[in-house]
Structure 1
């Protein structure tokens, strides 16, 4: 998918007010991909179900880069796929954090690609750099690697490969400031939004997953 379809909260119509919006989330779709079904969970989390579909929910966040913690589980998801490639890279869940500023060494081409995506997104300001934490992949991907869809403006870490045992909760905690520095250099810009998405359209897989207890907090 091109950058315009994959930058955080960058595509799809606004969802009418519903339980998700009452819980602070907005549901968005990728053009040409049937949307999955999200529902809110107590405490600010979400659950997702679908088959051969993909979409995401997002909400605004503010403040500086801190530590982000959550717990998640996958009861059904796609088989291992190579997430370093732009074709066929399905994943059960991804939690992405968008930042308001550019990578330290942003190029003119990257700015141009972002401008193209922003034109497609309309009035919603897109983040200029993104960290993505994924449940999916082969487990053989590098520890951190550029998203093949985001023109170098998104960095991916696989926290749980697709072969992780299903039906179990796993706790996660990531240092956003440290990860941003390692990915893009310099000091991280302010936070802008958080996204939870699924993408199983290439393999036509069934997905059933949850993420909850999502918290931004100081790392010390």
Structure 2
């Protein structure tokens, strides 16, 4: 992903899309808004298309979120997001990729296209977050406004990449020390089939950042990125469920 260079005070482009420094809100289609999602885009990049999928699951004591389909033409990217509250628990979902980018290196800036990613934002700093990161966060929060609480640490789960990235978690090159990435399905994974996933957010936060007490949740984002490889993306996520780990 080639993102525009931000002004020095906001060069932690860093915390977008979950921090919005190099991102912008878009008008959200009514059906997507009715499902609770809000649309966003990278500044200077044509936006992918997103739409809601019907709920297939009953709550059963868990938080169940409507799914999303996404279509990106070559050169497009973007994301949808919604608030997510509560303590870290187990997040499960099904996803499917029909078309997507070839293998890319997700550990470096530029050329880091992926079919789909799910990012979870937390309302707390990882151990070792310094003054510079906190200052940039404050600037980004002022830009976003009080109605858009921004996460202070981020875990991103990806369908894409080469599968050879350092693991199981590696630094998100765009997130200035507060983001970690985990590849669940590399770009070469079989396409055209639904794949079930389940992650323990509390355990993953500890593994990714260290520390003993993962902070509360604040936001979830579903995104795609196809600008560098000029790829076409057709993918979907459904059956998003946040509930107790059993």
**Interval containing the TM-score (normalised by the shorter chain):** over 0.9
1:172 counterpart (175, 197, 211) = 197
100-109 vs 63-72, which deviates more? 100-109
Within 2, Cα distance between the matches of 1:30 and 1:66? 29
How many residue pairs were aligned? 220
Note if 1:203 corresponds to 2:229. yes
Alpha carbons of structure 1 residues 14 and 7: separation in structure 2 relative to 1, 3 Å = closer
1:154 counterpart (170, 179, 184) = 179
Q: Equivalent residues in 2 for 1:44-123 (5 A)?
A: 44-51=66-73, 52-123=75-146
TM-score by length of 2: 0.85
Aligned to 2:150: 126
Within 1, Cα distance between the matches of 2:144 and 2:174? 16
Within 1, Cα distance between the matches of 2:225 and 2:127? 29
Aligned to 2:49: 37
SS at match of 1:180: helix
Aligned to 1:137: 161
Within 2, Cα distance between the matches of 1:41 and 1:199? 20
Unaligned runs of 5+ in 2: 4-10, 56-65
1:8 counterpart (12, 15, 18) = 18
Q: Is the 8 A contact 1:91 1:135 kept in 2?
A: yes
Unaligned runs of 5+ in 1: none
Offset, 1:176 = 0.2
Within 2, Cα distance between the matches of 1:75 and 1:164? 11
SS at match of 2:197: strand
Offset, 1:8 = 1.1
Runs (4+) off by over 6 Å: none
RMSD: 1.4
Note if 1:23 corresponds to 2:35. yes
157-166 vs 12-21, which deviates more? 12-21
Q: Is the 8 A contact 2:19 2:141 kept in 1?
A: no
